[in-house]
């Protein structure tokens, strides 16, 4: 899975409210709380851009645009990384 495929899968799982799937993308040991679930439930992916690196960060940034259930849209960069023993992608920030 590439970083952009990860981002799309992550956001689509949030939109479906498939929290079991989202938990697979979440860093091990970090809580997946109800505040997060409420904020991202039902979102729609508008676009996923080309991943890029920055010198000071060990992961990748994936540009995205999403639309929340209330109609509000957001553009930002999702931080993802796979520098773990299993080389699995995990969410690292950018919401």
Residue 55 has pLDDT above 90, yes or no: no
C-alpha 76 chain-centroid distance: 11
Mean pLDDT of 26-38: 91
In this prediction, residue 29 has a pLDDT band, given cuts at 50, 70 and 90, of: confident
Rounded CA gap, 19 and 92, in Å? 17
Residue 7 has pLDDT above 90, yes or no: yes
Domain annotation for the chain: domains and CATH numbers: 3-93 (3.10.450.50)
**pLDDT at residue 47 in the model:** 98
Mean pLDDT of 50-77: 95
**pLDDT at residue 24 in the model:** 94
The token duo for 54 is 């920055």
Q: Do residues 88 and 6 touch, judged by C-beta distance below 8 A?
A: no
The token duo for 26 is 């979440």
């Amino acid at each position: 899975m590439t970083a952009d495929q990860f981002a799309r899968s992550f956001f689509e799982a949030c939109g479906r409210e498939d929290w079991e799937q989202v938990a697979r993308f979440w860093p091990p040991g970090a809580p997946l709380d109800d505040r997060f679930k409420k904020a991202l439930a039902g979102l729609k992916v508008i676009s996923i851009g080309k991943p890029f690196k920055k010198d000071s960060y060990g992961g990748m940034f994936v540009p995205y645009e999403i639309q929340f259930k209330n109609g509000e849209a957001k553009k930002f960069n999702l931080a993802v990384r796979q520098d773990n023993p299993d080389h699995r992608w995990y969410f690292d920030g950018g919401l």
